[in-house]
Amino acid sequence: MQVPVPHNIRKISPYVPGKPTQEVERELGISCSIKMASNENPLGPSPKAVEAVRNLLGELHIYPEGSGFYLCQALGRHYGIPMQQVILGNGSVEIVEMSARAYLNRQANAVFSFGSFALYPIACQIMDAPIKAVPMRERNHDLDALLDAVDENTRLIILDNPINPTGRHASFAELQAFLERVPGHVLVIVDEAYKEYADAPDYATVQPLLARFPNLMVLGTFSKAYGLAGLRVGYGFAHPEVIATLHKVRSPFNTSSVAQVAAMAALQDQEFVAKGVALNAVERAYLTRGCQDAGIPVVPSQANFVLVDVPMPGEQFFQAMLREGVIVRPMANNGYPRSLRVSVFHHYGNERFLEAAKKVLGR
């Protein structure tokens, strides 16, 4: 191959998704494996979303509404956000990618926490932008250090809250104080993909701060609590000028008609969301307590997963767990070579993880 690849693209390590159960069972010749690697909703999608998709199947020959007008309208009503401050993405991560395309270049840098969501640096590397990956403190954002990394050429700060993969969080008060100190030439993206699962007394979405800070953008997704990961639909709230800028770099029809109608139906089924959140709270506590009782260090989590530490290379533990039919996620690519992310599952799956982990570790 003689077509040269730019140096910034050559340096990118592609994002590796969690292994699907079919692939594991085919490779290892096993059956009845469970996937606890990708933070998927164990309850599946809302029945209302499934019905909405069925009703649309006869119209798949028609292009979707280009900007997702009706879903943006529904999101605006639900969250009390003016519609001109809403944008959709093919998952919330696409909105991070749009922001990188809109605001970054070789002179304009981005700041984020080292060890947070792995796709943040990739979005910046694609633009050949300088990146400042700031070490965390106790697996949480070091907000002071992030501020210290900002300079006159910084254009983006990207924060996930709760954090993927550690599950830690910054409080509303901490983020408000942080935003008060961020210069106006920096767009702060707060990715709240797991907000529905957070139940810490000091946690709250920073959406109410949008009116006060025009350089704030808040992201959410239908992939987790709403159970629509397979449809890839996320959303962002920001100042109208930010939204207008992102539309300039947004791919046309970036959310499908199926995704849009499913998300609108799911948004109306808050009873389903509440059921999943309640299940997660109970089973996250069970999984955390089970790991602690087995002598497996676990990071306190506000999401639908926990990060565990093991006394061996994470890849070795991952492979051993595969042979037990339990798929988890090694986190070496995030900077945690002896840690794995374990999605909260139904009770039987969490029991099975604990039994398999104790067997692998000889506990």
Give the position of tokens 């920096």.
Answer: 186
Question: Average pLDDT in the 327-353 region?
Answer: 96
Pick from 243, 268, 293: which residue ends a domain? Answer: 268
- What letters, b where the CB count within 10 A reaches 16 and e where it falls short, cover 29-45? eeeebbbbbbbbbbeeb
DSSP 63: P
Reference 163, options 132, 122, 208, 194; nearest CA is: 194
Residue 309's contacts (CB-CB under 8 Å, 6 or more residues apart) are 296, 297, 298, 336, 338, 339
Q: Is the pLDDT of residue 59 over 90?
A: yes
- Candidate from 27-31, 44-48, 201-205, 285-289 with smallest mean pLDDT: 27-31
Residues 68, 206 within the same domain = yes
Residue 2, domain member (yes or no)? no
Residues 257, 284 within the same domain = no
Quick one: pLDDT at residue 27? 78
Residues 68, 185 within the same domain = yes
Q: Which tens digit of pLDDT belongs to each residue from 283-318?
A: 999 999 999 999 999 999 999 999 999 999 999 999
Quick one: pLDDT at residue 258? 97
Q: How far, rounded to the nearest angstrom, does the alpha carbon of residue 86 sit from its chain's CA centroid?
A: 18
Residues 131, 161 within the same domain = yes
Residue 1, domain member (yes or no)? no
Which domain covers residue 32, as residue numbers? 7-44+271-361
Quick one: pLDDT at residue 15? 76
Q: Residue 134 forms beta bridges with which residues?
A: 113
Question: Average pLDDT in the 336-340 region?
Answer: 97
Question: Average pLDDT in the 15-41 region?
Answer: 82
Pick from 215, 244, 268: which residue ends a domain? Answer: 268
Which CATH number do you get for residue 318?
A: 3.90.1150.10
Residues 250, 282 within the same domain = no
Question: Side chain identity at 253, as an amino acid letter?
Answer: F
Q: Which tens digit of pLDDT belongs to each residue from 216-273?
A: 999 999 999 999 999 999 999 999 999 999 999 999 999 999 999 999 999 999 999 9
Q: Is the pLDDT of residue 145 over 90?
A: yes
Q: Residue 87 forms beta bridges with which residues?
A: 236
CA dist 233 and 313 (Å) reads 34
Which CATH number do you get for residue 207?
A: 3.40.640.10
Pick from 268, 286, 304: which residue ends a domain? Answer: 268
* Alpha helix ranges (H) inside the chain: 7-10, 21-28, 47-56, 69-79, 92-103, 119-126, 143-149, 172-181, 240-249, 257-267, 270-293, 314-323, 347-361
Residues 98, 35 within the same domain = no
How many structural domains compose the chain? 2
Distances in whole angstroms, Cα of residue 289 to Cα of each of 198, 299, 354:
18, 11, 10
Question: Average pLDDT in the 21-37 region?
Answer: 82
Q: Which tens digit of pLDDT belongs to each residue from 187-200?
A: 999 999 999 999 99
User: How sure is the predictor about 32, in pLDDT bands with cuts at 50, 70 and 90?
Assistant: confident
Residue 282, domain member (yes or no)? yes
Q: Phi, psi (5° rounding) for residue 260?
A: -65, -45
Give the position of tokens 């900077």.
Answer: 335
CB neighbourhood size of 281 (10 A)? 14
Q: Residue 89 forms beta bridges with which residues?
A: 234
Q: Is the pLDDT of residue 184 over 80?
A: yes
